[in-house]
Amino acid sequence: MEKVYFVLGVDCESTQPKVNNPSLGEKAVRGIAEVINKNAGHCTFFVIPGDIKKHKNIYAELLQAGYEIGLHLHPGTHGFNEYCGLYGPEQQETIIIQALDEFCQNFGRKPDAFSMGYASANDYTYPALKKIGFSHGTCSIPGRILPECASIWAGAPLFIHYAHPYNRCLAGNLDFVEIPITVDWESRMWSGKHPLDLRVELVDSKNHSYTIEKSIKRQIEEKVPVKIIRALTHNIFEFDNPENFRRQTLEGMIGDFKNICEKMRYNYEITTCLKVATEFRKLNPV
Ligand SMILES: [Zn+2]
């Protein structure tokens, strides 16, 4: 039986100035891991350097347990403009390397995975990530049109692909595997600037389940080689509290995902970005 993957990416930024609540960050990370463990799975935590510094031991434990720990970038926390997509190639490299160095100094290990704050990127971003040594991650939310955040992804590929060396909105042959956030490509919200995406905190699980089913069906129709539901959240909610609405939404999303797969007679796995990027590379050598 063919398989569909549920890949949750958690952008961890509890120490960034707008949030500044590391104890909530810790509780959130532990709560999310608890939910994922109960489902016999793993996920990817994308962590800003400030959070790695504060919660090094937790992430080391999670890494040991089979979770993936990647880098999340908010240039504002490093003294730059918050939106990476405003910068040229050399500047982006400088910003990313600075964050990476800080991450490595505190974690003692270089991440392979990357996720971009606000999905703010331009055509220089993927080549910069590749050059610096990242192999996979998430920069795109297909259909997002937020020029105020330098985050424009109109018409970008919906599913896993190699990035294009010159155009962020096309699939190409750059050796960086992009795992786009799952969206309902026919929906619009935020005054038409954004599609309904699979961030846990956006709507309830019932709403998310429509997007999940719709995306799986399309990936089957299009014979996408590695079928993925890519959800996201942030470590700024009380995921450790079983009564918390966000936690219940996450549990509901995973439960619905499993039911949908069973109904369609597909196997499923709840796993990391690394796992699906590796599967994709195996089937489609660059
Ligand atoms: Zn972020």
* Beta strands, E only, the chain: 3-12, 44-47, 68-73, 113-116, 136-138, 145-146, 151-152, 161-162, 177-178, 183-189, 194-197, 227-234, 267-271
- Mean pLDDT for 127-150 is 98
Q: From the CA of 74, how far away is ligand 1's center (Å)?
A: 6
Q: Indicate whether 1 pLDDT > 80.
A: no
**Distance of CA 13 from the midpoint of ligand 1 (Å):** 6
Question: From CA 237, how far away is CA 218, in angstroms rounded?
Answer: 31
User: How far does the centroid of ligand 1 lie from the alpha carbon of residue 220, in Å?
Assistant: 31
Q: Report angle CA 181, 186, 189 to the nearest 5 degrees.
A: 75
pLDDT in tens, 203-261: 999 999 999 999 999 999 999 999 999 999 999 999 999 999 999 999 999 999 999 99
> Residues in the chain, how many?
286
Cβ proximity of 159 and 224 under 8 Å:
yes
Which whole number is the average pLDDT over 86-98?
A: 98
Asked if pLDDT for residue 282 goes beyond 80, the answer is yes
Tokens standing for residue 21: 């609540």
Distance CA 206, CA 218 (A): 19
Could you give the number of structural domains in the chain?
A: 1
Q: Could you tell me the pTM of the whole model? A: 0.98
List 250's β-bridge partners, or say none.
none
| CA 26–ligand 1 middle distance (angstroms) | 16
* Cα of 267 from ligand 1 centre, angstroms: 31
Mean pLDDT of 272-283: 98
The domain in which residue 273 lies consists of 3-283
- How sure is the predictor about 286, in pLDDT bands with cuts at 50, 70 and 90? confident
Ligand 1 (single-atom ion) residues, CB below 5 Å: 11, 13, 117
Give the CATH number for residue 176. 3.20.20.370
